[in-house]
Structure 1
Amino acid sequence: MTRRRPSSRKPRPPASAKAKGPGRRNAGRRNAGRLRLIGGDYRRRLLPVLDSPGLRPTPDRVRETLFNWLAAATPGARVLDLFAGTGALGLEALSRGARKASFVERDPRVARQLEENLATLQADERGRVIVGDALTFLAEGPTPCSLAFLDPPFRQGLAEPCCAALEAGWLTGDAWIYVETEAGIEPRVPATWQLHREVRAGDSHGRLYRRAAAASSPPDDAC
């Protein structure tokens, strides 16, 4: 957009990021370079985040809403954070009392930063980072978890195959699963998953599911 200025004045410098509006694209940049944990033992801790294309931390408001829903389920949980990125969801779960968390991230640089952030929080004994592709990881021998976060890159069709793979032994009988996709997309999920709550923010749509207990559910081991 062309901005009118008096011809006698020098052009003004570009507006800073703080002066930008609250749209989804700009909102994601207001805290560029850092992640703020919002609850639990690590509340208000700020952690560095790499400037990496496609790195899309779940917004503070969505995380706060999600973990309010999961308040009773998070303490003692065994967490699987797929497409971890900044690790915002898994780190928030550890802050709120999760027993342990596994973070799966394909980008080695992003994974290394996540390992450093776990060490900074002195949570590296409860959190482990797996460098690799999420679907490849899920094809390996499963160890069930009670809480799974699935936030794949948008417009790559990864949500549905990952949901199906999770059902093949990765979840306890009454596990909680959070799936975040682009707005307008409703992935097909296993018949054993029941939609519990939904949250929308900008161009993303998050859905929290509860898995129905089944006789064939895997044992309650650590992931």
Structure 2
Amino acid sequence: MSKFKNQPKIKHGKHINQIRIIGGQLRGRKIQFPNMEGLRPTPDSVRERLFNWLGQDLTGRVVLDLFAGSGALGFESVSRCARQVILCDTSFGVVQNLRRHSQLFQIKDKIQIYQQDGLKYLAQTSLRFDVVFLDPPFAWQNWVELFELLKNNLNPNAYVYVEVSRVPEIPDDWMIVRDGKAGQSLQLLLQKQ
């Protein structure tokens, strides 16, 4: 028996804080992200399930990732031919990283990145979205206000993806289309009726 049996496994340094785009035109491209509390990129298997739910092809759709973090969901959307993708995050470092990757991937014409609180962004934008990703830090709790603001920014038949540790109260006029679980994370795909 090895004396190292109970020692934690250490990943090679270049693989820490890195994920890859799993589908579409940018498939295989790597996204590095900063080490920050509350930033937990959606894992490959969960993204694969999500984009299966959405039908893989987002051609012509307008997408909002309100708590962008690593940018994985937004970059996956561009990779799958979304017409326009909006990424919002409050962190300066996160936003700089997202902008760097949009230049690196040569997708600046399809993506807009804002360093702004998501609720303030929704309150001021006139854009309407076909797909919205809501993957806030697990401690975030302003769901009632978020759903109220969001209902004015959705196109008919829009999908809203929610990734949480505990399911928030869903408004009565919204329905759960799909749901899943992975580790501590619960995933819901919603539509407003």
Residue 51 (structure 1) shift: 1.6
Give the secondary structure class of the aligned counterpart of 1:186. Answer: coil
In structure 2, how many angstroms separate the alpha carbons of the residues matched to 1:71 and 1:98? 12
Output aligned runs, 1:32-111, within 5 Å.
32-71=16-55, 74-111=58-95
In structure 2, how many angstroms separate the alpha carbons of the residues matched to 1:181 and 1:12? 34
Give the secondary structure class of the aligned counterpart of 2:25. Answer: helix
1:181 pairs with 2:164? yes
Please name the residue that 2:189 is paired with: 208
Please name the residue that 1:26 is paired with: none
What is the RMSD computed on CA atoms of the aligned residues? 2.5
Please name the residue that 2:106 is paired with: 122
Please name the residue that 2:9 is paired with: 16
Please name the residue that 1:8 is paired with: none
Give the secondary structure class of the aligned counterpart of 1:101. Answer: strand
Question: Structure 1 counterpart of 2:95, which letter?
Answer: A
Question: Structure 1 counterpart of 2:18, which letter?
Answer: R
Query: Of the candidates 172, 175, 178, which is equivalent to residue 194 of structure 1?
Result: 175
Question: Structure 2 counterpart of 1:211, which letter?
Answer: K
Query: Of the candidates 149, 154, 161, which is equivalent to residue 145 of structure 2?
Result: 161
Runs (5+) with no aligned partner, structure 2: none
Against the structure 1 CA distance between its residues 39 and 157, is the aligned structure 2 distance closer, same or farther, given a 3 Å change threshold? same
Question: Structure 1 counterpart of 2:160, which letter?
Answer: I
Give the secondary structure class of the aligned counterpart of 1:137. Answer: helix
In structure 1, how many angstroms separate the alpha carbons of the residues matched to 2:116 and 2:129? 19
Against the structure 1 CA distance between its residues 159 and 60, is the aligned structure 2 distance closer, same or farther, given a 3 Å change threshold? farther
Number of aligned positions between the proteins: 192
**Cα contact 2:57–2:81 (8 A) shared by 1:** no
**TM, length-normalised to structure 2:** 0.90
Summarize deviations over 1:116-157 as a string: whole Å, max 9, x none: 111111111100101011112122143101110001111231
Question: Structure 1 counterpart of 2:178, which letter?
Answer: R
Aligned identity (percent) is 34
